[in-house]
Structure 1
């Protein structure tokens, strides 16, 4: 394995990992050293990247010179696993870089925390803040003055109008639309295709048009 300081390990080898592999290879900022995933066999490959074992291998890989890691586990409603893995990597003092697809549009006035992932076609407008480990997925649109919490997950095609707040660990499903000024609480779930026109409480699940 390479001991270059720009090598990176992906934790997770599913569909989200495939998207990140292409993003990382196209940008060229990091060399992907391998994937850690308990559901895959050692030696198996995902888009040409070898599976090295489970996340229990992180300490050994770190000793060999790996300094960077990406949380490549996707999300369906719950973001707990992503957050847990993120915290484990922080405890090991590994770097969790922000990853932005070169075909995303991100205002220079956006504040990005550690480990944010922004996929192809996403648009993020001025004076928005995105918390640690959050994912802005393919084609999502985040307008001005939004606040996206830690480990929040915006699925493909989500549209947030100006001044929307998405709480920590919340999940906004594919194609959901949130009108301006709405506050989505922590650990809330917005179903795919929902149209949110009023605030959503912590831990709530809302769906439909308008979302209830």
Structure 2
């Protein structure tokens, strides 16, 4: 996002949104214009940010000159809803900035695509690539040469050793560990606390130590 203040809309007003509000306010790079969330009353507020309605308001807000939108819903196993919102705002012409908390540590060679969100305390090492819409949550650690493909979601405390590939739309639960060189398939789910020592197939659910 540009260094001057940019108006931005958040899609979602729950816990993930509140974390992002703190990140954005601390960064000082945007003006929080409002929240769209069908479960919240119009006119209510989330951490001082007004609720404006639902995603049906997006075209009008775009016409009013708001050019940035952020997918601010979290994920519990399925990342599909986040992806749907991401594609919706992209089609309407909104920009979706990559967001990085000031306490996160990223190698200068890390690649961040559109809409990436890196939360407080995350560490991402050299030559790692994060695809569009990826979330690296609080305290996650990603070592060198990893590839996290679009719309994958890494919950708090996930650890990836070097050379790991995470397929698109995959979900890794809190505290999951993946040893070096493994591949997590597209749409796969790795349960919280699992230790992955072999490749995970597309669409699979694995859990336990070692993960099966």
Q: How high is the TM-score relative to the length of structure 1?
A: 0.97
| Aligned residues between the structures | 209
Aligned mates of 1:191, 1:50 — CA distance in 2: 35
State the TM-score, normalizing by the size of structure 2. 0.97
Q: Which runs of 4+ in 1 moved over 4 A?
A: none
Show the counterpart of 2:71: 71
Q: What are the Cα deviations for residues 174-204 of structure 1, in whole angstroms up to 9, with x where unaligned?
A: 0000000000000000000000000000000
User: How far does residue 57 in structure 1 lie from its aligned partner after superposition?
Assistant: 0.3
Deviation string 1:24-51 (CA, Å, 9 cap, x unpaired) is 0000111100000011110111111110
Q: CA deviation at 1:93?
A: 1.0
Q: Determine if contact 2:5/2:29 at 8 Å carries over to the other structure.
A: no
- Per-residue deviation, 1:106: 0.8
Match of 1:165 in 2: 165
Residue 38 of structure 1 aligns with which residue? Answer: 38
For 1:70 and 1:47, how far apart are their aligned partners in 2? Answer: 16
Question: Does residue 141 of the first structure (1) align with residue 129 of the second (2)?
Answer: no
Q: Shift of the alpha carbon at 1:132?
A: 0.1
The separation in 2 between residues aligned to 1:160 and 1:31, in whole angstroms, is 34
How big is each residue's C-alpha offset from its partner over 1:55-110, in whole Å with a ceiling of 9 and x where there is no partner?
01011111111100000010000000000000011101110000100010011101
Question: What is the CA–CA distance in structure 1 between the aligned matches of 2:100 and 2:109, rounded to whole Å?
Answer: 15
CA distances 1:103-138 after superposition (whole Å, capped 9, x unpaired): 100111011100000000000000000000000000
Q: Which runs of 5+ in 1 are unaligned?
A: none
